[in-house]
Amino acid sequence: MFVRIVDGWTTTGDSELNGVLETTSNSATFLPVKNSYYVTVPVPMQKKGKRVFSDDVENFEFLEEYDGETITLQSKAMKDAKKAQAQKTAIAEAVGEACDETSYELAYRNSETEEEALERIEQSFDILRDIAWSVCEGDVSSMIISGPAGIGKSHLVNAVAKEYYRFLCTNGMFLTGDHTATNPFGSEERTYRVIKGTITPIALYQELFQYRDKGQVLVFDDCDTLFYDDVSLNILKAALDTDHKRTISWMAESRILEEEGVPRQFDFCGSVIFISNLDFDRVRSVRIKPHLDALKSRSLYYDLEIGTVEDKIRRIKSLVSTGLFEKNRLELNDEMKQEIVDFLNVYMHDLDEVSIRTALKIGGLARRNPNAWKKSAVYSLMRREAKFRFLLEEKKANKGAEA
């Protein structure tokens, strides 16, 4: 049996012909050059015309049927890269001509310089800050913030909420006896609250009641499980509506509400900010899609549009320049900070996660060991195969230096 390799694939064994590996067992091992990691391909002997393995085998696919002698494989990564490049070329040629909605985004991204991309991202967060402040003040009753994890959505909203609390303290609705301005709600905790993770429908109803007055803010951070509960969704729809005064009801029997003195119905005049990693526009689940659309129609929906790893790196770069490490008690010199940004830029596709948290983890490693932090970052933050590729490249470089 012979295996013919095409489009970026090569064999790990010796072969009489370039790109061809003769196998005598039931398996063959390949090394995709582009991704630099090993993949074992099962090649059981089967009848002529039968497929040799299932279509869901990772990282490669059939180009031709097994004819009893030859299997032709293509790297999926190579195929996707070719498809993306063809799309980019087509979009670039279409700039200035009629484009569909998706093409406009690609055309714009392909046309912008690095400086323009950085400005776009910074402007996106500046707008988010302004809208979040409007929600806190009650000019906007609610908003939904969508964007990938680890880009600073929660941090920005928390910073705005704290700033709003300080504003209320210095511009309070009334003064104490010593003429010191105070927050009308008495404390930071009574002004706003951030709820993370899972929350039950009855707890959601109670929280909305506790923060029902104008000027009070509830922030739901990564509480996406609410989208899969019909009762919670109905409560959210009422709370996130555009009206200044929204009536929320709980008409089912509840001993908890009776014990806590929470009425079965109340007028909600507070503000709600919902932070989610879900892209509402791309959700296709027939179960929750109609509910997400209903929430979007009632609330101000803001998508940060940072969907590429390159944009995430730009966001991190911007934050580093404005004191990301210093704000997290990581004192690093400018040269070290630049090295960290360069490391992220070079290995962005090899890291388990590209996020602000990743940058802070690397910053901690760099502060602990300024001379050897890169290897620590490789071992702890990179994908397994990327780690070994890094080590292999380092080994080759060391041998070259010795020679």
Residues 149 and 263 in one domain: yes
Comparison of pLDDT for 263 and 172, the residue scoring more: 263
| Residue 88 domain flag | no
Q: Is residue 104 one of the residues assigned to a domain?
A: no
- As to burial, measured by CB atoms within 10 angstroms (0-12 exposed, 13-18 middle, 19+ buried), residue 146 is buried
Q: Is residue 99 situated within a structural domain?
A: no
Q: How confident is the model at residue 105 (pLDDT cuts 50, 70, 90)?
A: confident
* Residues 303/244, Cβ–Cβ less than 8 Å: no
Q: Are residues 139 and 284 in the same domain?
A: yes
Per the CB < 8 A criterion, the answer to whether 169 and 181 are in contact is: yes
Q: How confident is the model at residue 184 (pLDDT cuts 50, 70, 90)?
A: low
Q: Which one, of 241, 246, 248, 244, lies nearest residue 296 by Cα?
A: 241
| Phi then psi dihedrals of residue 255, to 5 deg | -70, -30
Give residue 90's pLDDT band: very low, low, confident or very high (50, 70, 90). low
Count CB neighbours of 27 within 10 A.
10
Q: In 287-314, which positions are buried (b, 16+ CB within 10 angstroms) versus exposed (e)?
A: ebeebbeebeebbbbbebebeeebbbbb
> Is 92 inside any structural domain?
no
Specify whether 275 is located in the same domain as 323: no
- Interatomic CA distance for residues 28 and 206, integer angstroms: 61
Coil, strand, or helix at residue 172? coil
| Burial class of residue 115 (count of CB atoms within 10 Å of its CB; 0-12, 13-18, 19+) | exposed
pLDDT for res 191: 83
Q: Which amino acid is at 239?
A: A
* Residues 296 and 240: beta-carbon distance below 8 Å: no
Instruction: State residue 194 phi and psi, 5-degree precision.
Output: -105, 125
**Same domain? 269 vs 176:** yes
Q: Do residues 206 and 217 lie in contact, with contact meaning Cβ atoms separated by under 8 Å?
A: no
Is 129 in contact with 137 (CB distance < 8 Å)?
A: no
Q: Which residue, of 64, 79, 94, is where some domain finishes?
A: 79
Last residue of a domain, one of 79, 99, 127: 79
pLDDT (tens digit per residue) in 207-229? 999 999 888 899 999 888 888 88
CA–CA separation, 395 vs 234, rounded Å? Answer: 59
Residue 219: inside a domain, yes or no? Answer: yes
φ/ψ (deg, to 5) at 329 = 60, 35
**Cα–Cα distances in angstroms (integers) from residue 201 to residues 227, 228, 231, in the given order:** 11, 11, 6
Average pLDDT of the segment spanning 162-175: 71
pLDDT at 102: 52
Three-state secondary structure call for residue 173: coil
Q: What is the mean pLDDT of residues 238-265?
A: 89
**Reported confidence tier of residue 96, pLDDT bands at 50, 70, 90:** very low
Looking at the fold, whether 282 and 354 belong to one and the same domain comes out as no
d(CA 24, CA 103): 49
Q: Specify the amino acid at residue 340.
A: I
Contacts of the segment 16-25: beta carbons below 8 A, 24+ positions apart: none
Note whether 133 and 263 are same-domain residues: yes
Instruction: Among 255, 284, 303, give the residue marking a domain's end.
Output: 303
pLDDT, tens digit (0-9, with 9 covering 90-100), for 21-51: 333 333 344 333 333 222 334 444 333 333 3
User: What ranges in 240-355 are assigned the alpha helix state H?
Assistant: 255-260, 289-298, 309-321, 324-327, 334-346
Say how many domains are in the chain.
3
The token pair at 399 is 């041998």
Give pLDDT tens digits for 127-167: 999 999 999 988 999 999 999 888 999 999 999 998 988 88
Q: Are residues 119 and 170 in the same domain?
A: yes
Assign residue 214 a region (left: φ > 0; alpha: ψ between -120 and 50; beta: otherwise): beta
State whether residue 61 is helix, strand or coil: strand
295 shares its domain with 148: yes
The reply to whether 181 falls in a domain is yes
Q: Both 126 and 268 in a single domain? A: yes
Same domain for 376 and 272: no
**CA 209 – CA 266 distance, rounded (Å):** 7
Look at the block and give the residue holding tokens 């010191």.
Answer: 180
| CA-derived radius of gyration, the chain | 28
This prediction has a pTM of 0.68
Mean pLDDT lowest among 102-116, 236-250, 328-342, 365-379: 102-116
Residue range of the domain that includes 256: 112-303
Total Cβ atoms within 10 A of residue 4: 16
Domain-located, residue 85: no
- Does the pLDDT at position 298 exceed 80? yes
Q: Are residues 209 and 138 in the same domain?
A: yes
Confidence bin at 86 (pLDDT 50/70/90): low
Quick check: is 105 in a domain?
Answer: no
Q: Is the pLDDT of residue 177 over 90?
A: no
The CB density around residue 137, as the number of other CB atoms within 10 Å, is: 15
Residue 333 · residue 311 · CB < 8 Å? no
Say whether both 236 and 130 belong to one domain. yes
CATH code of the domain containing 247: 3.40.50.300
